Copies of this chain bind each other. A is one copy, B any other.
Amino acid sequence: MGINDRKARQQEEIKQQIIAESWHIIAEEGWQALSIRRIADAIEYSVPVIYKHFENKEAIQEYFIKDGFAKLTEEMRQIQTASDDERIREIAYSYWRFAASRTAHYRIMFSLGIPHCETVNSVAEMKQMSDMMRVAIEKLAQSHRQEHTDIYLKLKTFWSMLHGFISIELLSNTVIPAEPTPVFKDAIESFMYTLINKK
């Protein structure tokens, strides 16, 4: 039945339009400017059509959260470095650059206003990212004969540091510098130092 295939394609196209136009609005005017009616206007369909593709507005937010983590993971995946030391540094830097270049996206991903997700590990896209970090930390620990480090402890610390710096940056409403600041770099070096050297 080619007819059903075509229908599925057409529906999928509408969904992609919803996503594209939504992002258009968000990028231009922020998440708070996004309303179902504005999406409907933009895609030139009536309001209830949107509810055929997203259960509610929160589901749209959820989509962008997952999408954000997927994009972040993708950027991290493209890192090519010689040493394990370099790798974890570059992961940190690409995290910073992501927050700097896609600030609107980052804000949505970590908006603590509305509780949305269950556990970090239950969201596949989040887990992918944290896995990538974990492996990098693991490798660095191993290559410096630190097999007995608590990796999950270090992973949590690592992510907390990254997000902490970005958050504080986001508090003052100025644009995040495109490249990691010295403060940030310094903290990453400290983290790596305590990871490599036994206590």
Contacts and interface: CB of A to CB of B under 8 A. Distances in A.
Nearest to A193: B194
Contacts of A3: none
Nearest to A169: B160
Interface majority SS (helix, strand, loop, mixed), chain A: helix
A162 B167 CA distance: 11
Contacts of A193: 194
Q: For the complex formed by this chain, how many copies does it contain in all?
A: 2
A160 B157 contact: no
Chain A: interface size category: 35 or more
Interface of A: 30-32, 107, 110-115, 117-120, 153, 156-157, 159-165, 167-168, 170-173, 182-183, 186-187, 190-191, 193-194
Given A111-B112, A160-B165, A160-B168, 4 more contacts: A153-B186, A159-B164, A160-B164, A190-B190
